[in-house]
Structure 1
Amino acid sequence: MSEDRDSLIGWALDCYQQPGVMSTLLALQDECGLDVLLLLASAWLWTQGRRVSHEDMLPMLAQQQSWQDQVIKPLRLVRRKLKQDESAQSLYQQVKAVELEAELLQLRRLEPLFAELSVPVRLPLVEQLGVLAQVQGGGESGERLQALLDQYAAAVADFSSTAA
Structure 2
Amino acid sequence: MRVSDLAIQAIRHHEGVRLKPYQDAIGLWTVGVGHLIGDGKTLPEDWNRAFTSQEVDEILRKDLGRFEAGVERLCPDGLTQPRFDALVSISFNFGLGTLQRSSIRMKHNRGDFDGAADAFLLYNKAGGKILKGLVTRRQDERALYLS
TM-score, scaled to structure 2: 0.41
More relative contact order, 1 or 2 (CA 8 Å, 6+ apart): 1
Greater share of strand: 2
Greater share of helix: 1
